[in-house]
Amino acid sequence: MRLNKYLAKAGVASRRESDRLIQEATTTVNGKVILDPAYLVQPDDVVAYDSKEIKLITESYVIMLNKPKGVITTAKDTHGRKTVFDLIRFKERLFPVGRLDKDTTGLLLLTNDGELANKLMHPRNRVPRVYEAEIEGRVDEKTVNRIERGVFIGDGDWGKAEFLEQKTIKKRSTVRLQLFQGKKREIRRIFEFQNIKLYSLQRLSYGKIKLHDLPEGKWRQLTDSEVKLLHK
């Protein structure tokens, strides 16, 4: 089994994130630092991540969190800022499925199942994420069409979102958008490059899992049927 897949199946991170972690010299096999994600782990090898031995998980878990504003999506922060793991107490090591930036609120999935996380995040699987944004003014039809076709968002990237709904009251609008790829800060960068002021951003759903009435800052474990929906 490749080392990146081993880390994913041991609940350390998604396979893509495991590539990065391995290349940062966090992982040893039989006491030797391995930098190659494709290194083949043998059945008798002892694999350690962050100086702690890891083993393949026997049971996978998925939880959902309603992330508040000002909380960052990471396990540790060198600046002492509050992280999502300050809000969660769970019996198994978990990691986020993708990220929400510090000022974005709403649905965040966390799991110990690296293969599931990889499936959910990979662009080719086109797993939809629905967001609600509060903006200044109203997005005109021409700009809507442009964003739905794809717009430049800097750093060589193009962003694309489907407009599901737009409601305008006085000088502000509430817009619901659907994404299928989830590039870094994609919606914020889309609005920034279209000169649209964004006041707030919340993720409402990931795949078929919806936030519903889960209070902000609270979390719950997904049911077996909900986890099956994610696998589909």
CATH number of the domain located at residue range(s) 62-123+214-231 in this protein: 3.30.70.580
What secondary structure letter does DSSP report for 193?
A: H
Residues 6+ positions from 46 with CB-CB distance below 8 Å: 29, 30, 31, 53
Give dist(CA 203, CA 91) in Å, integer.
Answer: 26
Compute the average pLDDT of residues 169-185.
92
- Note the pLDDT tens digit of each residue in 26-38: 999 999 999 999 9
What secondary structure letter does DSSP report for 83?
A: B
Which pLDDT does position 160 carry in this prediction? Answer: 94
DSSP string, 145-160: HHHHH-EEEETTEEE-
Domain with CATH 3.10.290.10 in the chain: 3-53
State the pTM of this model.
0.84
Which pLDDT does position 204 carry in this prediction? Answer: 98
Whether residue 78 has pLDDT greater than 80: no
Q: Does domain 128-206 have CATH number 3.30.70.1560?
A: yes
User: Topology of 3-53 in CATH?
Assistant: 3.10.290
Domain with CATH 3.30.70.580 in the chain: 62-123+214-231
Whether residue 74 has pLDDT greater than 90: no
Compute the average pLDDT of residues 118-129.
89
User: Is residue 101 among the annotated active site residues?
Assistant: yes
Q: Which residue, chain included where needed, has tokens 């589909």?
A: 232
Domain with CATH 3.30.70.1560 in the chain: 128-206
Residues 6+ positions from 149 with CB-CB distance below 8 Å: 160
Two tokens, residue 67: 């992330």
Among the options 101, 103, 113, 224, which is catalytic?
101
